[in-house]
Structure 1
Amino acid sequence: MDKEKRDKLFDQAKDWVLEAGKNIREKINDPLQIDTKSNPNDLVTAMDKETEEFFANHIKQKYPGHSILSEEGFGDELDSLGGIVWIIDPIDGTMNFVHQKRNFAISVAIYEEGVGEIGLIYDVMADNMYQAKRGEGAYKNDVLLSQMDRNKQFEEAVFGLNHFWLCENRLVEEKRMQQFVKDIRGTRTYGSAALEFAFVAEGVMDGYLSMNLAPWDVAAGIVLVNETGGVTTNIDGTELNMLDKDSVLTCNPAIQDRLLNSYIKHGRK
């Protein structure tokens, strides 16, 4: 994608994200209509659907040749990321939205031929926009984010961990992961994969690990992390499946090999 085209798409996408965020803030205290999806803890609200429909309608009207990959049913059935694809999570962190009314984000990415060109993660209630265009760095609002420290010491790392999936899946050995937690400086859980990716890009955390995320959870974050020198793979250390759910590891490259080889690959069940 050439720079002029990318800049125009970025400006339009950012305007829509800000408009959608403003609508959410204005309605944050309205009564909630809450449903469940795959299990009682997999929540979806009318606001999730309203926000995704807002993006889908605007994209289809202005860019009819573009495709949409999204969470709540307003996207397209895709078997590839060919062409230009908008990957959207209207509210990432719905449980936080319902219970806390904070710590959730709008996540919008634009990919062309499978390459992440634009990433936007908007922390709605804090009014912080994490944004990136491929090859131009990543920003929090208007402040350029620093490149990751390639000399980062493993023992000084702070990691985001999705504890629910670590406890419930059979992809890793729990005792080895417990040792990982002991060996690093600390762990955090924020309840929004998009925000956790943004925090890795910002340097608030050095990595984030989860065992079952969808493309819309990670697409924008990958662009941000790439632009700050980070790396994102699945827990095998290979390329993510961007059309289906997958395990996800995003982190500073200085700690990736040790994490994969000492705590995950050697502890697989």
Structure 2
Amino acid sequence: MSQALHPMLNIAIKAARAAGAIINRASLDLDLLRINTKGPNDFVSEVDQAAEQVIIETLLQAYPGHGILAEESGREHGARNSEYVWIIDPLDGTTNFIHGFPVYAVSIALAHRGVVQQAVVYDPTRNDLFYATKGRGAYLNDRRLRVSKRTRMQDALIGTGFPFRRGDNFKRYLKMFEEVMQQCAGLRRPGAAALDLCYVAAGYYDAFFETGLNPWDVAAGSLIITEAGGLIGNFTGESDYLFQREVVAGTPRIFGQLVQTLAPYSRVIKADETEGAQSAPADLPTPEQALADSLKAEPAAAAEPTPKKGPVRIRKGDASAPAAPTAAAAPAAPATPPGEDAPF
């Protein structure tokens, strides 16, 4: 890595690689794994827990006054009232991992006063390190990342994630899936949202959408996408996606077109979730508690696209926002992330 990285990003990379080493060792003998279920089709292995432990130990050794929000342990570690909160998924794609399907990753993000500032997603099977510092661009290993230049839905390859928990509304998802599938060049579902978001940043996908995600699934990937010139939001294009359990990301033009398709499905999916659906750890703060101080998503740098059907919640004061991009409009100039030429 030739760039001089931010010290906090360096610590996150150290933690991610330590977790990746644990995951890679365990992958050599999956038959010995102890696996528990958090719910139907929702697994946690001793590897998730060991990887999370080494990440937290590494981060708190360097920054003992920081807060922690982690998938397996919630907020039981770290300082509760810190302006800095590390958001951790120690093994995104556990189901893939325990089956030997090599698509999974470690995801670590650092939010300061509610804005994600540092992000690392590490793919241990390929030794691929995606990372970003706010304002300094996004990288895969030593290569600068840019979202793709495609502007038409019919040319777009789009990633997604299928619902899999009891209580998910499968019929509604299939309608959404069918609608998107008929508009694009192809849909893919590898099964690790953190990597899916990085694939948008790298230009492998042109967009991605999924429901039922938690903050630790998307926090790191969200910064990597925006620093690569892409956009991310909820199904109506707004920036409050971390706790909304729905996310869409993509190139600026494809994002706008996909939001028009997905907006009618916004929030109704969340309302469909029942007690059988996966819940966050018991000590995870409510959105009101957490977002007020430390976990608000950074606003997207685009106007809210207007859906072709269904209601869309419009925030007060947004009346001056420019019109959404459409398939018929002229292609927008590629977005340039902040700090394109900033020295490291």
TM tier, shorter chain?
0.7 to 0.9
Q: Secondary structure, in 3 states, of the residue corresponding to 1:91?
A: strand
The worse-fitting range, judged by mean Cα deviation, of 221-230 and 140-149 is 140-149
**2:25 aligned residue:** 26
Aligned residues of 1:97 and 1:104 also touching (Cα < 8 A) = yes
Unpaired segments of 5 or more residues in structure 1?
none
Q: Secondary structure, in 3 states, of the residue corresponding to 1:129?
A: strand
How far residue 175 of structure 1 moved from its aligned partner, in angstroms, is: 3.6
**2:100 aligned residue:** 100
Alignment RMSD, CA only? 2.6
Distance, in Å, in 2 between the alignment partners of 1:171 and 1:252 is 28
Instruction: Output one character per residue of 1:84-117: Cα deviation in whole Å (capped at 9) or x when no partner.
Output: 1111000000001100251110001111111111
**2:259 aligned residue:** 260
How far residue 66 of structure 1 moved from its aligned partner, in angstroms, is: 0.4
Q: Classify 1:180/1:115 alpha carbon distance in 2 versus 1 (closer, same or farther; 3 Å).
A: same
The worse-fitting range, judged by mean Cα deviation, of 244-253 and 82-91 is 244-253
**1:113 aligned residue:** 113
Which stretches of structure 1, 4 residues or more, deviate above 4 A after TM superposition?
170-174
Identity %: 32
Indicate the structure with greater strand content.
Answer: 1
Distance, in Å, in 2 between the alignment partners of 1:162 and 1:104 is 13
**2:153 aligned residue:** 154
Instruction: Output one character per residue of 1:21-45: Cα deviation in whole Å (capped at 9) or x when no partner.
Output: 12221232231000000x2210000
Unpaired segments of 5 or more residues in structure 2?
265-308, 312-344
Q: Classify 1:126/1:264 alpha carbon distance in 2 versus 1 (closer, same or farther; 3 Å).
A: same
Distance, in Å, in 2 between the alignment partners of 1:219 and 1:57 is 20
Aligned residues of 2:66 and 2:82 also touching (Cα < 8 A) = no
> Which entry has the higher C-alpha Rg, 1 or 2?
2
The worse-fitting range, judged by mean Cα deviation, of 103-112 and 18-27 is 18-27
**1:129 aligned residue:** 129
Q: Secondary structure, in 3 states, of the residue corresponding to 1:254?
A: helix
Q: Secondary structure, in 3 states, of the residue corresponding to 1:196?
A: helix
Q: How does 1:228-267 map to 2 (within 5 A)?
A: 228-242=228-242, 244=243, 246-265=245-264, 266=309
Given the alignment of the two structures, is residue 187 of structure 1 paired with residue 190 of structure 2, yes or no? no
> May I ask how many residue pairs the two structures share in their alignment?
260
Instruction: Output one character per residue of 1:233-265: Cα deviation in whole Å (capped at 9) or x when no partner.
Output: 1112222353x4521111111022222224532
Instruction: Output one character per residue of 1:198-220: Cα deviation in whole Å (capped at 9) or x when no partner.
Output: 10000000111111100000000
How far residue 176 of structure 1 moved from its aligned partner, in angstroms, is: 5.2
Q: With the length of structure 2 as denominator, give the TM-score of the two structures.
A: 0.69
Distance, in Å, in 1 between the alignment partners of 2:33 and 2:196 is 25
